[in-house]
Amino acid sequence: MITEQLLSGRYKFNKDFIPPRLLETQQESRILFLNEIHRKNKYIRIAECPSCGKGDFTKISEVERRCLPSDIVICDFCEMCFKSSILNFEANEYHYSKISYALRGKDLSSDAIEKLFAERIELYAYPRYSFISHFVEFDCDSDLIVEFGCNDGANLFPWHEKGFNVLGVELDPKMVEFGNRKNLNLNCGDFFNYNFAEKKPNLIILSHVLEHVSDINRVLDKLYELLQPDGYLFIEVPGIRSHALGDPMIYFDVEHNYYFDLNNLSKLLKKHAFNIVFADEFVRILCTPTQNNINLSYRYVPLSIDKIKANILKLFVDIITPQNRSLYDLLKEGECNSFRIRVLNKLQMMYFQHYYSSIGKSRERNGNA
């Protein structure tokens, strides 16, 4: 049963309301979504919580940031947050091939793709590479690094540069062609079709992918099967307890079927027999199928200005983070723009920035990044 308890009046869907801040092309793709998917009711209803299997939810929103319909619920039993009606297979294909890029206001000219690729390498790919390498030492002579939903392949670039064997899998042929021009070994296809019979990946990267999938349990099962038994899975998703605090409406996205926090994603991973090595509320998680003893004492981060700042910020974050607050109440506070939540949001984001940066710099000093 679904109980309606929207975060506020603006979370009610109104098909006639046109968000003023959208570009003309975004408005057009929004109308395409309403006509071709919503009006034709191309949805699958989710009756059971993907995490605990129970069927009582609280509906917190009917819309997302571009005022498209998006029923978002929180499980009354386990606090899993997800969309209670997702696009069916046909609508999903249609959305990602005909609507998604324009809706997100993406420029697909060659120059724009090239520029974005360079930016993504510098701003995100190297920091992610340093972060993962901080916890696990991979061997560039033997280990295979795979990314699913790799887009242009930017995340794989640092690994490729360090001499690793890389493989990226992406549905968009245009991005695959682009990445292959950069020698990144990208394949066009669906990851469910892979089996890696000869050589299983030692690291699988899923960066801003898991929130988009239709069936999280099926995906986690498949990942477990694909990975080397002592391999690692790196997941990054926009955490609801970090990214949604400023304004939950801006955080909700029609393409996101799941809204993870540290708690609900950790539970799902454990349910699928993954052992967690590192996890935070950002959300970044590093986990492994192996149940052998993993050294859970995090690797030492050398002293730096970033480390000192991160430690001080963490102290404040821990002090002002409301204890035992339900996800609903936290989002409601974010929606009401409470002073405490605004401060928490700022400090938490600054903490993550300095913490990740302190790890990156330690790698640079060791000559590894």
Total residues contacting Zn ion by CB under 5 A comes to 7
In the complex, what is the shortest distance from the CB of residue 323 to Zn ion, in angstroms, rounded to a whole number? 22
> Considering beta carbons, is residue 55 or 246 the nearer one to Zn ion?
55
Asked if 311 contacts 226 with a C-beta cutoff of 8 angstroms, the reply is no
- Interface with Zn ion includes 77 (CB under 5 A)? yes
Q: If binding is defined by CB under 5 A, does position 52 make contact with Zn ion?
A: yes
Piece of the chain touching Zn ion by CB under 5 A; list 49-57, 112-120, 205-213, 237-245: 49-57
Nearest approach in angstroms of CB 48 to Zn ion is: 8
Give the C-alpha separation, 33 to 52, whole Å.
31
Residue 344 contacts residue 317 (beta carbons within 8 Å): yes
Candidates 7, 63, 73, 80: give the one binding Zn ion (CB under 5 A). 80
Rounded CA separation 206/216 (Å): 13
| SS percent in the chain: helix, strand, coil, step 5 | 45, 15, 40
From the number of C-beta atoms within 10 Å of its C-beta (0-12, 13-18, 19+), residue 55 rates as: middle
Strand partners, 75: 57
Tokens 């099967």 label which residue?
225
Interaction between residue 84 and Zn ion (CB under 5 A)? no
Does 81 interact with Zn ion (rule: CB under 5 A)? Answer: no
Instruction: Report the nearest approach of Zn ion to the CB of residue 216 (Å).
Output: 12
Work out which of 46, 60, 72, 75 binds Zn ion, going by CB under 5 A: 75
Question: Is residue 51 close enough to count as binding Zn ion by CB under 5 A?
Answer: yes
Q: Does 219 bind Zn ion (CB under 5 A)?
A: no
Shorter beta-carbon distance to Zn ion: residue 37 or 265: 265
Phi, psi angle pair for 170, to nearest 5°: -150, 140
Tell me the closest approach of the beta carbon of residue 253 to Zn ion, in angstroms. 21
Applying CB under 5 A, does 49 fall inside the site for Zn ion? yes
- Tell me which of 78, 113, 301, 312 binds Zn ion, using CB under 5 A: 78
> Nearest distance from residue 214's CB to Zn ion, in Å?
18
Among residues 78 and 113, whose Cβ is nearest to Zn ion?
78
Residue that the structure tokens 């391999």 belong to: 231
**CA–CA distance from 207 to each of 6, 60, 94, 286 (Å)?**
30, 26, 22, 12
Q: Is 330 in the site for Zn ion (CB under 5 A)?
A: no
CA-CA distance, 333 to 340, in Å (whole number)? 9
Binding site for Zn ion (CB under 5 A): 49, 51-52, 75, 77-78, 80
